[in-house]
Amino acid sequence: MQASGRTEWRRYSPAAAAAAALLLAGLLITSQMSGDRLWVAKRFSGPDMDRLKLHPHGSMAAFGVQDVHAASEWSTLGTAAGPAAGKAAAAALAPAPAVSGLAGLTGKLLGSPKAVNDTLPAAVSEIVNGTELVLTKPLGQAKGVVLLFHGCQHSALDWGYASPTCPLCLGLPEEMRVVRTAVRMDYAAVAFSSADRQSRCWDAQALDRSVDIPAVKEAWAVVAAREGWEKLPKYALGVSSGASMVLFLAMRMQLDGIVPQIMSAPPQMLEQKPLDPLSGKSWSYPPTYFMHMELDQVNAERVTADIGVLKSKQSAWVTEKVFKARPVSAEFFSERIDKVDAAMGAATVTAMKGAGLLNATGFLMQDPRQTVAQWQKALKTVPGLKAIDSLQPEKSAVSEELNLAWARHEIISDSVDEVLEWLDARRRDGSAKLLPAVKPRKERRLLWLSDLMLRRWLD
């Protein structure tokens, strides 16, 4: 029978065999695409699809932005291995509370700020060698230090609650969640103010002509010697202009890790090796964890370029995480802003809905930076809110959280504990115990096909 089978096969010409092979390949591809359609239809139907359709940010593709390995986010699930693998991945990577996607949006990861406020040591503001800083120590012995750098129009005073030791401190909510996380993990938090008190931006790109880089180094040397922190690990987290500051500071000050948020640097400027021009000492560029937001696609592209340079030119550990828009709810306000309780949070949401600022699923309809007058007018009607919040952009807790919900350009406090653990693991042994190292980048896009979405992976 076997010999006969071989004889029968030889009757067909090579052309016929090739045609049969092509037909079989076409059937397999069609089957795969059908399977993908079924999986996508199931995965993105129901509440998830409804939320996406009603989201004001535009096309569905906005939800397929870069996210290298935020394993808890549903938008990074792939079907490269077929629908069965996609379903298994969906089950394995189901969203957990306090992720940066559409689930767990109330910040459960850090717990309620109100629950731990009493245990947060008072911040201390001081001027050291002409540089303003705000220092918060952990309750016990510090195991490391987190240096904090604000964005334009801000200062070190955002990173502490008002107290006799920091009478002018503003204590904005996202900044305080960062400080609280650091202190809870036994890090001291040291926030710096830029030298320019008009724009309040950082001057760092000029490197050896920078005003801020030597000022920060000198102020830190004084504080480190005074507190006995010279040999402790030190990480730097910067926001917007402060992100640019930490990217360039790492070129002139030896750091154990940096966290640039919502800003990148010209990639060609990250190619030179870190060096102290006075001593001639050089070192490796520190591990870098970029944190940015889904709507700023220009910055996302620049982050991609920076990652490429830091990996290829500096051989640095580098990763990123993208944070997505989130709906505004009573819990969103009450769990993130001190002095806002559930009732006030609910009244705030009701006022915003009444003013047409939220859609049916609670997402902001427009960028809150472009609708200041509208939301200010609406929120002035909320009982008690004006007494605890100025409602002024760059100074208001509510304003900051609205910017966070919109997800274009705002400080991010979520996942800071995960970030610090990742940096600390890189510092200790360079292993990949906590998160996988960044692999060659893959672009993920969501495409429409027959009113369904198919995932296409482009190497």
Mean pLDDT of the chain: 77
- CA-nearest of 345, 447, 434, 403 to 112 is 345
What integer pLDDT is reported at residue 414 of this predicted model?
A: 96
Tell me the mean pLDDT in the region 262-274. 94
Lowest mean pLDDT among 26-35, 84-93, 233-242: 84-93
Condensed to tens digits (0 to 9), the pLDDT of residues 307-329 reads 999 999 999 999 999 999 999 99
Tell me the mean pLDDT in the region 376-403. 95
Model confidence band, residue 50 (pLDDT cutoffs 50, 70, 90): very low
What integer pLDDT is reported at residue 13 of this predicted model?
A: 64
Q: In what order do the strands lie in the sheet with 257-261?
A: 124-128, 131-136, 187-192, 144-149, 234-239, 257-261, 288-293, 318-323
Condensed to tens digits (0 to 9), the pLDDT of residues 168-187 reads 999 999 999 999 999 999 99
Place of tokens 């394995």: 92
pLDDT(4) > 70:
no
pLDDT(248) > 80:
yes
Higher pLDDT, 206 or 412: 412
Lowest mean pLDDT among 105-109, 154-158, 272-276, 385-389: 105-109
What integer pLDDT is reported at residue 82 of this predicted model?
A: 35
Q: Which residues pair with 261 in a beta bridge?
A: 239, 291
What integer pLDDT is reported at residue 30 of this predicted model?
A: 53
**Three-state secondary structure call for residue 183:** helix
Q: Which residues pair with 283 in a beta bridge?
A: none
Assign residue 192 a region (left: φ > 0; alpha: ψ between -120 and 50; beta: otherwise): beta
Higher pLDDT, 104 or 236: 236
All domains in the chain, ordered by first residue? 108-324+412-429 (3.40.50.1820), 330-406 (no CATH)
**Three-state secondary structure call for residue 363:** coil
What is the rounded CA–CA span in Å between residue 164 and residue 124? 9
Tell me the mean pLDDT in the region 141-165. 97
Q: How far is CA 80 from the centre of its chain?
A: 26
Condensed to tens digits (0 to 9), the pLDDT of residues 353-379 reads 999 999 999 999 999 999 999 999 999
Model confidence band, residue 27 (pLDDT cutoffs 50, 70, 90): low
Higher pLDDT, 62 or 162: 162
Model confidence band, residue 278 (pLDDT cutoffs 50, 70, 90): confident
What integer pLDDT is reported at residue 208 of this predicted model?
A: 87
Tell me the mean pLDDT in the region 21-36. 56
pLDDT(38) > 90:
no
What integer pLDDT is reported at residue 113 of this predicted model?
A: 40
- CA-nearest of 147, 153, 178 to 245 is 147
What integer pLDDT is reported at residue 11 of this predicted model?
A: 52
- Between the alpha carbon of residue 458 and those of residues 33, 118, 361, 444, the distances in Å are 16, 50, 32, 7
- Between the alpha carbon of residue 55 and those of residues 45, 50, 93, 438, 456, the distances in Å are 15, 9, 23, 30, 22
Tell me the mean pLDDT in the region 203-210. 89
What integer pLDDT is reported at residue 28 of this predicted model?
A: 58
Tell me the mean pLDDT in the region 138-143. 95
What integer pLDDT is reported at residue 446 of this predicted model?
A: 35
pLDDT(198) > 60:
yes
What is the rounded CA–CA span in Å between residue 134 and residue 392? 22
What integer pLDDT is reported at residue 274 of this predicted model?
A: 94
Condensed to tens digits (0 to 9), the pLDDT of residues 59-110 reads 222 322 332 323 222 222 233 333 333 333 333 322 232 333 332 222 233 3
What integer pLDDT is reported at residue 378 of this predicted model?
A: 97
Tell me the mean pLDDT in the region 116-131. 85
What integer pLDDT is reported at residue 126 of this predicted model?
A: 98
What integer pLDDT is reported at residue 327 of this predicted model?
A: 97
What integer pLDDT is reported at residue 25 of this predicted model?
A: 64
Percentage of the chain beyond pLDDT 70 is 68
